[in-house]
Chains A and B, each alone.
Chain A
Amino acid sequence: MILMAAILTYIRFMQAFSPTGNSPSLRLAAEDQQLQHRPIISIIDDDESMRCALKSLVTSLGFKAYTFASAEQYLDSPRLDDTSCLISDLQMPGLNGIELQQSLLAQGRHIPIIFVTAFPEERMRARAIEAGALGFLGKPFDSSKLVELIDKALEAGRET
């Protein structure tokens, strides 16, 4: 017993002093844990190139990104339960962004939403913000603004 306890203490001691660690299995386990804690950002855009670009940007920020080509696809996915922030296009075939927002609210899900649209209309912006959208960006947008909004979304998530 005492021997085992001593060994464990030694391992913890080693970990504490060398975070990168000499043991590869231990390092992977640590990264895994970190990965699980990475916030999930879901991206919905019917435009494939925009989808890829957003995914790349979000991943480069250190988040986990999932992409969907339509609102319906997202609503059918398990990401509905663990999305920390949703970035969605406004005009899409099928459900549009506002309809998606309504549908989520009807389900009682208050996921922070950032809308990005290639055709920003004041009327749509007002509707989206009124319904609780976190942000409304016109394409093309400065990515620092998106990053700001994502941070805001994650903060809001931490508070609740």
Chain B
Amino acid sequence: LKSPAVAQAAPHGQSRAEAAAPTTPRLLDGQQVLLSTLPPSRGQTRLALAIGLVLLAAFCATVPFATVPLRYTREFIPAYATAMFVISLITAALLYVQFSIVRSRALLAISGGYLFSTLMTIPWALTFPDLFEQTEIASTTWGLLSTLWHLGFALFVIAYALLKDNEPSTRWLRRSLPFAVLSSAAGVVIVDALVWLVTPTNASMPTTLALFERSYSYWNGLLLLAFLALALLWSRRRSVLDLWLMVVMCGLLIELCLIFLVGRRYVIGWYAGRVYFLISSALVLMILLSETAFLYARLARSVMAESREREARLMTMDVLSASIAHEMNQPLASIVTNADAAARWMGRPAPDLDEVKSSLEQIRNSAYRARDLIVSIRAMVKRDGRNRSSLDLNELVREVLVLTGRELQRSRVSVELGLAQHLPPVKADRTQLQQVLINLITNAIEAMRENKQPRILRVKSALQEPNRVLISVADSGPGIDAGIVDRIFNPLFTTKSNGMGMGLAICRSIIEGHDGRLWASTGAHGGAVFEFTLPAEADA
């Protein structure tokens, strides 16, 4: 499936210039504004890969000198812990915000992981043996906290990776705040419990645990777990967040490997491992922050464009009423003038009955035209949802094709139908949607009237991610001039000699009244394409 961003930016292979100035700026949907759902761009993937490779290269370069002792720097761990505390806290906050928007269990897990990480840095820094008391037991406590921290974090990442594709279809949380508070409290309790468990004053701390901390199987298990988290992320990677979490896990793995390899403090490996993890965490936070800011800017721009458009449309309300007057006066004038003409033909010394008859016919046609106009205006003005029912758009399309069948046949237009199977129903006003489809199809027929090449009307339906139904009506006519494509929906605009000039404005107003969108573009084979989307019925 094409990503919605790409599909919307350039529908049907429009030229770049046209794509850059789309008919209407569309409001970005949730898929495009959340780190947890937004697919990474190629540039981001490359950047992440580059950072991963640099980390790996740094790791390889460090390994030969890992055991070389460096100057004793007591302040290193407190400084490192402070930095990690701040980084983890901000990342956790960022992810909690994301969680509060989507309420996904996976996001709760990963933000919980960061919160846990934040909280763990406090006892971890405070129990650093060289800081307060240099005893064997203190050292063990510190080491255990260190590994528990990483172990816990890896477990949270695994939980995230496992949960992220198995979200329940319905929103499982009504409110996010209590959950955020609750999980924070749980984090504090868990960390407290762990600290209590490994504190030397606690007599129950098993010495075997201390011995175990140094054993190979313990380290192997920890490494394996971190690696498992990375592998799971890789196999289920989809979003920007997944991508950068993988970078974090690479940093974590490298830190673990280096610390495991050297097994001593104040050597190059011991320093370097921590620095690498710190750097990767800081980088990822920076990127997530800039990504969020960028998305925010995009969203803000699109919202502004949307509100400008709405304002413009409100301004056109008086234009619209003027246009209704204009459109109504046209058939009325024709009726009055024809009636006068008929009276004069009748009043001649030798009445010309043929002329009278033709005038009367004209009067009838104009009256019908006025009636059609009133029907359209009523359809446009009537916006209440009382007449809305569950509709199968495929069925409606077939119905309208039957209704317009005579006109299609007379104009020798062949119809190509591409209806998607299992289309979800939409909640809509049947008459209004019928009006839209009839209007689009009639427009298409008229556009192909002068055609030398085959006259083909293509009507398609499709299910658009995540839950919108798309209908497209394409013709093989001359297409829409780039210069007028943004004006065709304006109420007074018409290219037809006897056109109402309001058809498309009314169509758009109907579709938007149903929370849908209607836009026009040029098809892949030339010709005009009119497409609209409607939200699928929620509980279907």
Contact = CB atoms under 8 A, between A and B. Distances in A.
A54 B341 CA distance: 8
B498 A118 contact: no
Contact of B344 (A52, A57, A138): A57
Given A49-B362, A49-B365, A60-B348, A93 B329 contact: no
Contacts of A138: 329
Nearest to B347: A60
Given A60-B345, A93-B494, A118 B337 contact: no
A144 B329 CA distance: 18
A48 interface: yes
Given A48-B497, A49-B362, A139 B355 contact: no
Interface string A86-124: 000001010000000000000000000000101100000
Nearest to A57: B341
Contacts of A47: 330, 334, 497-498
Contacts, number: 95
Contacts of A48: 497-498
B388 to A, nearest CB: 34
Interface string B164-184: 000000000000000000000
Given A49-B365, A118-B329, A140 B497 contact: no
A80 interface: no
Contacts of B497: 46-48, 69, 93
B491 interface: no
A9 interface: no
Contact of B333 (A46, A50, A56): A50
Contacts of B365: 49
Interface residues of A, number: 26
Contacts of B112: none
Interface in B324-371: 325-327, 329-338, 340-342, 344-345, 348, 352, 355, 358-359, 362, 365-366, 369
B322 interface: yes
Contact of A140 (B333, B342, B352): B333
B495 interface: yes
Nearest to B335: A140
A142 B336 CA distance: 7
Nearest to B359: A56
A141 B337 CA distance: 8
Interface in A30-70: 46-50, 52-54, 56-57, 59-61, 69
A49 B334 contact: yes
B344 A116 contact: no
B355 A118 contact: no
Contacts of A119: 322, 325-326, 329
A116 B333 contact: yes
Interface string A132-158: 000000111111100000000000000
Contacts of A59: 355
B341 A143 contact: yes
A53 B362 contact: yes
A141 B359 CA distance: 16
A56 B369 CA distance: 20
Given A118-B325, A118-B326, A119-B322, A50 B340 contact: no
A60 B330 contact: no
B332 A140 contact: yes
A47 B325 CA distance: 15
Interface string B485-503: 0000000101101100000
A57 B332 CA distance: 15
Nearest to B332: A140
Given A48-B497, A118-B326, A119-B326, A60 B344 contact: yes
A48 B366 CA distance: 10
Contacts of A116: 333
Given A57-B340, A143-B341, A93 B333 contact: no
B400 to A, nearest CB: 26
Q: Which of A54, A116, A139 has the most CB of B within 10 A?
A: A139
Nearest to A92: B497
Contact of A143 (B322, B329, B334, B336): B336
A91 B362 contact: no
B263 to A, nearest CB: 85
Interface in B295-346: 322, 325-327, 329-338, 340-342, 344-345
A146 to B, nearest CB: 8
B326 A56 contact: no
Contacts of B340: 57, 142-144
Contacts of B341: 53, 56-57, 60, 143
A144 B339 CA distance: 12
A129 B352 CA distance: 36
A142 B362 CA distance: 17
A56 B330 contact: no
A69 B366 CA distance: 18
A54 B329 contact: no
Q: Which of A46, A57, A59 has the most CB of B within 10 A?
A: A57
A116 B326 CA distance: 12
A99 to B, nearest CB: 17
Contacts of A91: 326, 492
A140 B336 contact: yes
Given A49-B366, A60-B352, A141-B333, 14 more contacts: A46-B498, A48-B498, A49-B334, A49-B369, A49-B498, A50-B330, A52-B338, A52-B362, A56-B341, A93-B497, A118-B329, A119-B322, A140-B335, A142-B336
10 contacts: A49-B334, A49-B498, A56-B342, A56-B358, A57-B337, A93-B497, A118-B330, A140-B334, A142-B336, A143-B341
Interface of A: 46-50, 52-54, 56-57, 59-61, 69, 91, 93, 116, 118-119, 138-144
| Top 7 A-B pairs, shortest CB-CB distance | A139-B333, A143-B340, A118-B329, A140-B333, A53-B337, A60-B344, A57-B341
